[in-house]
A and B are shown apart, each in its own frame.
Chain A
Amino acid sequence: MTALKQINPPKNKIIALFYVLGGGALLLGITTGLLSFYLGHHLLYGVTREVPWGLLIVTYASFAIISTGLCIVAAIGHLFKAKTLEPLSQRALYMAIIAILAAFLAIGLELENPWRMAIWMVLSPNLTSNIMWMGLFYAVAVVLMIVEFVLGQLAQRKAAAVAAGLASVASVAGLVGLITDILANSNLGEVFGFINAKPYWYGPFLSIYFISNACLMGFSAIVFFTWAAYSMFGWEMDEPLQKALKTAGKFIGLFAALVLFLLSWWIVNALAGKVFGQYDTAKALVAGPYALNFWFFEVVLGILVPLIAAIVYKGREISAMAWAGLSAMIGGFINRYDLIVVPQTIPHYQQFNVVAPAELATKFYPYVPSVSEFLVFLGALGLICFGFVAGEHLFKGHIAKH
């Protein structure tokens, strides 16, 4: 049995800030989203006919990818009994649930008629649609993750014999949950990968890219949130937890290297092949209007900082790896933004020497997130901040008692 040891006074002001700012942002985001249904998305959101997927789809994809990554981290310890990583499993599972709920919040407020989804995805599902499968698998995965988490909590409060039974049921829920989560994530990749109208997306690459990113995000998030919890609440990290975090730190480096490998070939391929849409997108990223996003956020913050930190500190410096993890998550978010938005900004008829009408003859379709979109994004982020500190309070540091 493990217990938390208080070695520093909790940083109550920071904890309160997480509650107030997180909760406030959540309320503001939900209010803005609800207002958009009443007034019309077209008045409040910056998306257009030509760029219909904006910041909120980016938010959804980013948080869903983080959730899948955390689910994988939780499974490595919980299900596959990798003892070293087991101390991270409880928090990883909890945060995976919070992250997917934040993703659902963003897409729920982005869809024009989410209530019709509940009816028509049941009565009239399109079996060839990746959106349909992604929605189904994520819905099943979140239920199974909650079942696994609740049973895990109950098991800790029961006698050993009962606890063993509950834990084995939780493991089954966890395993099926993991499989459905990965299926959901790969369908999320193929939502884009199947769209041959956007050659930059088209192909099986995106599902591979998304799952690789999920692993990077999962390890980054768990190192950051565990370190943040222990720093904020003033707890002492015991030996197994420190070892787990150091191992997770190394995985951050490993997956940052993998993502660097994948992104490099993606960009080189698109630039060299000169296929319409692929080339234009890659050029807009490396030497066009999105170059700052690409080089500074995606490459430096998203990949190089975590990679170099993992090499320099060999994953052992936990606070440095936590900041590197945060850097990876920020860079990862901008990567998702560029990945989703930029291919849509390439005009459909660019090859046709079109000079009019002006909105179709432009070099890039414009898209700037609106204030309302930004507020809804903050709402989803607020849910993660609020859920994180509430989880630490409610589940007392996510310490496994058996």
Chain B
Amino acid sequence: MFKKFSQWLDSLEDKNEGVENLPSEERRRFLKMGLTITGVFAGGTLLSLVSKVDDVFGSIGGYSERYPYKPHYAMVLRVDRCIDCERCMEACRRTNHVPEYGWRTKILERHIPLGEGEWYREFMPILCNHCNNPPCVRACPTQATYKDSRTGIVRMDYRKCIGCKTCMVACPYDMRYFNEEKRAVDKCDFCWESRLSKGKKLTACAEACPAGVRIFGDLSDPESEVFQMVHSETRVVWVLRPETGARPNVFYTKG
């Protein structure tokens, strides 16, 4: 009985085309159109941010005049360049002493449908989005996780973590794990503790990437590559799960 009911529900779903089934040619046409009217289909997630600076600020809206952090660390990921060599994952693991059972960054393999039985492969790296409105920080009862007031990095104060794991549930991106050795939740800190605080300019993953996928820098610096990519009038830039209102500082683009 449940199976039939399930099939009936599926049949309802089929009537809605959905954005995930758009063939790539249509996507391209749509993207071109988006340059003028602002809008892009980004792998199943609809987001409108192209063409004008104000729209680019789709995820960081309200900060177009002045960034709240200096430096305002951000990362742009050029997904079509990723070859899934996993050097970024390895560098992260080694640099930040991430145990075997956990991870701070990962590469997802996607098969994006082109049409009937056709798809193309894309590798999508994921890491903490260091959101401007981080759901994990709001949920933590003891401020064990917090938004660094100077850099905007979402960091951990391990000794305050009670292990309620609310932050893990609240993160829309699955970016947190419980580190048994630290007896606390652990996550990407843009290599703040291991590198940036010691004067290095790049995260371990960005430095290790042989294909130039991960562009790391200061979004509040007009000279930086991340600023120029995110503010480019012709470049399509998107963020993941914008509907959650988290306003990430990790951006995705191609080319």
Contact = CB atoms under 8 A, between A and B. Distances in A.
Contacts of B111: 353, 355
Interface string A41-52: 110000101101
Given A126-B141, A129-B139, A198-B169, A116 B9 contact: no
Interface stretch (A25-33, A159-167, A215-223, A344-352): A344-352
Interface residues of B, number: 56
B172 A348 contact: yes
A360 B108 contact: yes
B16 A274 contact: yes
A344 B165 CA distance: 13
Interface string A251-294: 00000000000000000000100100000000100111001000
Interface in B20-45: 20, 43-45
Interface stretch (A107-115, A238-246, A310-318): A107-115
A34 B184 CA distance: 18
Interface stretch (A67-75, A117-125, A327-335): A117-125
Interface string A118-149: 00110011101111100100000000000000
B162 A197 contact: no
Contacts of A271: 9
Contacts of A85: none
Contacts of A120: 142-144, 160, 162
A356 interface: yes
B113 interface: yes
Interface string A177-215: 000000000000001001111100000000000000000
Interface residues of A, number: 51
Given A116-B159, A126-B140, A353 B110 contact: yes
A113 B141 CA distance: 13
Contacts of B142: 116-117, 120-121, 124-126, 132
A367 interface: no
Interface in B117-174: 119, 124, 126, 135, 138-144, 159-166, 168-174
A370 B64 CA distance: 50
B13 interface: yes
A124 B141 CA distance: 8
Interface string B169-183: 111111011101001
A129 B145 CA distance: 12
Given A126-B142, A126-B143, A197-B172, A352 B108 contact: yes
B138 A128 contact: yes
Interface of A: 40-42, 47, 49-50, 52-53, 111-114, 116-117, 120-121, 124-126, 128-132, 135, 191, 194-198, 271, 274, 283, 286-288, 291, 295, 344, 348-349, 351-357, 360-361
6 contacts: A47-B165, A114-B162, A129-B140, A286-B9, A353-B110, A353-B113
Q: Which 6 A-B pairs have the closest CB atoms?
A: A112-B163, A287-B6, A120-B142, A351-B44, A52-B165, A197-B172
Given A113-B162, A197-B170, 18 more contacts: A41-B163, A52-B165, A112-B161, A112-B184, A120-B142, A120-B144, A125-B142, A129-B139, A131-B141, A131-B166, A196-B244, A197-B244, A295-B2, A348-B172, A348-B174, A351-B20, A353-B44, A360-B106
